[in-house]
Amino acid sequence: MLSRRTVAAFAAAGLLLPLSACGSGFDDSSQPATQQAGPATLKVMIAASGGAELKAMQDAAAAWHPEGSKAEVVSANDLAQQLSQGFAAGSPPDVFAVDATKFQGYADEMLPYGDTLSYKDDIYPTLRTTFTKDGKLYCAPKDFSTLALAINTDDWAAAGLTDNDVPKTWDQLKTVARKLTTGGRTGLVFNDTRDRIGAFLVQAGGWAVDADQKKATADTPQNLQALTYVRDLLASGVAKYPKQIGAGDSGEAFGQHKASMSIDGNWMAGGMKKDYPDVKYRVVALPAGPAGPGTLSFTQCWGIAAKSKFQEQAKQLVDSFMQPQQQLAFAEAFGVIPSRQSVRAQYEQKFPAQAAFVAGADHAHGPVTLTTMDPVLTDFDAQLQQLPGADPKRILQQLQQNTAAALGQ
């Protein structure tokens, strides 16, 4: 079990790295930066998923040049580390991508501008919740992804299954997974971490912390029901982790036809098109659990540095990135889902195969956003990887104890 001291030490480690000043527009003192009007050269830092994303962001930045201002986009090798270093040195980029899992660790260094957005109510509520702290929306959610169920349609037909058999409940998921399991192929595959198994917790009405992330709620009947279901799926052989069938992750297992169904995010579309273009599949919503439908969301927001001297210009830049047509351009370039609800119809018309992922936004649960929980959740993943041999009750008891320590309870 992780001690309280260990939790605190891990959480602090990423925030205490020195770095010499690396950009313009910042005040290294602890006082609020004096704002400057007129043309600005903004530094923008992202963690690009690849060349397509970096080019799309650079093109969008290049198109923004009001009154002589400009923006320079760079892709970090390690965004979390480089941001932490920049904060410690008083020289972060003006605008930066903030992953939801790191948000609250950076919140004190960010300008809480989200409530001033004219399109605030157009952003999916679940995304707004993720980036809200102490009642304030800190930043504009840039895009998101959710989880859904991918089905190999050839395997589905060969097993005698029809549209009427698409699983809507946990029992139905187990039933079709059993029918799809053959001597050389598993019915269902999903990665062995909270970023997949957490969806079952949500469907059972559970989660590791309460809505305010101030209380540990891991050791509950709801979470036990979820982990027991996952354990039983794995123990029955109708579901497996990728490593059990010689695959690096669920997408690879599905693409290599080692599994007939996969729980994955909409990022799988690009990988399937590139690496497994001959595999025919469809995507449907994850089955509902005892508490109803549920999935997970993965998102980032556009953070603005509290110490930037060009906050107004930075907000204008973010607004340009958040315009509907620009969000659609980003979606086409690197596969993300726009964070504005008003773009939904256009997005679904352009990408009909992604409809199940978009629908997930209505009942998605965001990740834990407390950096103090990082080592706790890493330990939770290690415990989940021991299923089906591990005891779900003991896993949750350990998560409860570690979470309580991380929250200072």
75 and 135 belong to one structural domain: yes
267 and 379 belong to one structural domain: yes
Give me the residue label for tokens 């990022």: 267
Mean pLDDT to the nearest integer, 282-304 = 97
Task: Check whether 70 has a pLDDT greater than 70.
Answer: yes
Mean pLDDT to the nearest integer, 254-279 = 94
Q: Which residues contact 278 (CB under 8 A, 6 or more apart)?
A: none
Enclosing domain of residue 185: 147-295+372-406
Cα dihedral 355/361/363/367 (nearest 10): 130
Per the structure, the count of domains in the chain is: 2
Please tell me the distance from the alpha carbon of residue 101 to that of residue 113, in angstroms, as a whole number. 19
What is the band of 40 on the pLDDT scale with cuts at 50, 70, 90?
A: confident
User: Which amino acid, one-letter code, is at 195?
Assistant: D
What is the band of 87 on the pLDDT scale with cuts at 50, 70, 90?
A: confident
pLDDT value for 409: 82
Sign (positive or negative) of CA dihedral 235, 237, 238, 242? positive
Task: Check whether 398 has a pLDDT greater than 50.
Answer: yes
Share of the chain above pLDDT 90, in %: 81
Task: Check whether 9 has a pLDDT greater than 80.
Answer: no
Q: Is the pTM of this model over 0.95?
A: no
Mean pLDDT to the nearest integer, 42-53 = 90
132 and 161 belong to one structural domain: no
pLDDT value for 184: 87
215 and 95 belong to one structural domain: no
Task: Check whether 330 has a pLDDT greater than 60.
Answer: yes
55 and 164 belong to one structural domain: no
Q: Which of 349, 365, 381 is the last residue of a domain?
A: 365
pLDDT tens digits, 150-199 = 999 999 999 999 999 999 999 999 999 999 999 889 999 999 999 999 99
The CATH number of the domain where 122 resides is what?
A: 3.40.190.10
What is the band of 33 on the pLDDT scale with cuts at 50, 70, 90?
A: low
Mean pLDDT to the nearest integer, 378-396 = 98
pLDDT tens digits, 131-156 = 999 999 999 999 999 999 999 999 99
DSSP reduced 3-state for 205: coil
> Could you tell me what percentage of the chain is helix, strand and coil, using 3-state DSSP and rounding each to the nearest 5?
50, 20, 35
Q: Are 196 and 147 in contact (CB under 8 A)?
A: yes
177 and 255 belong to one structural domain: yes
pLDDT value for 39: 87
63 and 123 belong to one structural domain: yes
The chain-wide mean pLDDT, for the chain, equals 91
Please tell me the distance from the alpha carbon of residue 328 to that of residue 343, in angstroms, as a whole number. 8
400 and 354 belong to one structural domain: no
398 and 252 belong to one structural domain: yes
112 and 231 belong to one structural domain: no
Task: Check whether 245 has a pLDDT greater than 80.
Answer: yes
- Tell me whether strands 337-338 and 281-284 are parallel, antiparallel or unpaired: unpaired
Please tell me the distance from the alpha carbon of residue 292 to that of residue 369, in angstroms, as a whole number. 24
Q: Are 44 and 72 in contact (CB under 8 A)?
A: yes
314 and 200 belong to one structural domain: no
Q: Closest Cα partner for 26 from 77, 75, 87, 90?
A: 90
Please tell me the distance from the alpha carbon of residue 400 to that of residue 372, in angstroms, as a whole number. 14
33 and 100 belong to one structural domain: yes
E strand segments, 272-315: 281-284, 295-304
Query: Three-state SS string across 309-357, please?
Result: CCHHHHHHHHHHHCCHHHHHHHHHHHCCEECEHHHHHHHHHHCHHHHHH
Q: Closest Cα partner for 309 from 36, 90, 67, 21?
A: 36
Sign (positive or negative) of CA dihedral 19, 24, 26, 29? positive
